[in-house]
Amino acid sequence: MTGESRNEIYRYPVDEAASEITPLASLEVFLGNTKVRVLNVSMGGMAYLVEKNPEFAEGDIKDVSVSVRGRAFPLQLEVKHVKGLRVSSSFLNPAPAFLFALREFLGPKFLGASLQPALSHKNLPEALSLVTNATEYEAFTGQNQSGVFVWMGEGRRLLQIISVSRDLVLGWDPASGSRTGRLNSNGDFQDISWDRVLEITVFNYMADILLAWKPKSEDREWMENLFELAPNSDAAKQIKVPYSFSEAPVQ
């Protein structure tokens, strides 16, 4: 994967199944006059669902209109794979203006800046129950299913923090330190596959999102120090979450 930009490596689901967790990404696709349900999008293409079995074949070219954050672009998609109602396609000669808009839409800086406190999720009992001794829980959600989820004990002592972008995960807790992995297919925090194969790449990518989310110098310093603490050390066990983390980011 060397030489590839981060935006080209990762795909971002925009599935409606996440609407109860995060806001839907501002991306719409029309095939003719029919709006299709987008499953994921990357710089190279997208996967979407149609309402009935499509009469598509590999190599077919489809004219579509893609709206990125309210700006519509006419495009052609080349069908790469069809499975049931799911169609995977690549962009065919996309215009530079579209690629610029999509890159900005998918970029870590945009995702980080989109994170806002999910006040209705604060201290949800079912969330608190996931981490032993948690007395406070805060969630911050943004575009394209990006999110940061924080569990704290008495005095806002940090027990666990998880940052998510689609199924990619960066997590930290006092005992294990920082870990990277993926959510399972159901998006269940109780079933994260911690995988260190892509540790540095995922860590750097998530760090970009977090630092774009919290641009204040004191918050940046807090996060940078957090991931440098030795696992299971006294310092790691006593770290506290700044109250500024409950504030909306400065745009």
Whether residue 1 is predicted with pLDDT greater than 50 in this model: the reply is no
pLDDT of residue 186: 47
Whether residue 135 is predicted with pLDDT greater than 60 in this model: the reply is yes
Dist CA 131 CA 81 (whole Å): 41
Whether residue 19 is predicted with pLDDT greater than 60 in this model: the reply is no
> What's the CATH superfamily of 6-106?
predicted glycosyltransferase like domains (2.40.10.220)
Which pTM was predicted?
Answer: 0.64
Whether residue 91 is predicted with pLDDT greater than 90 in this model: the reply is yes
Dihedral of CA atoms 216, 222, 227, 233 in degrees, nearest 10, equals 180
- CB neighbour burial string for 143-182, b if at least 16 within 10 angstroms, e if fewer: bbbbbbbbbbbeebbbbbbbbbbbbbbbbbbbeebbbbbb
pLDDT of residue 25: 45
Query: Which contiguous run of DSSP H or E holds residue 222?
Result: helix 217-226
pLDDT of residue 52: 78
Dist CA 7 CA 103 (whole Å): 7
pLDDT of residue 196: 60
pLDDT of residue 188: 47
The answer to whether the CB of 117 falls within 8 A of the CB of 132 is: no
Q: Where are the alpha helices (DSSP H) in 69-213?
A: 96-106, 108-114, 125-128, 199-213
Provide CATH 2.40.10.220 ranges for the chain: 6-106
Whether residue 3 is predicted with pLDDT greater than 50 in this model: the reply is no
How many Cβ atoms from other residues are within 10 Å of residue 251's Cβ? 7
Whether residue 23 is predicted with pLDDT greater than 50 in this model: the reply is no
3-state secondary structure at position 165: strand
Residues 6+ apart with CB under 8 A from 226: 158, 161, 172, 239
Is pLDDT larger for residue 58 or for residue 106? 58
Question: Within 13 A of 213's CA, how many CA atoms are on the CB side?
Answer: 29
Selection from 130, 171, 176, 133 nearest residue 152 by Cα: 133
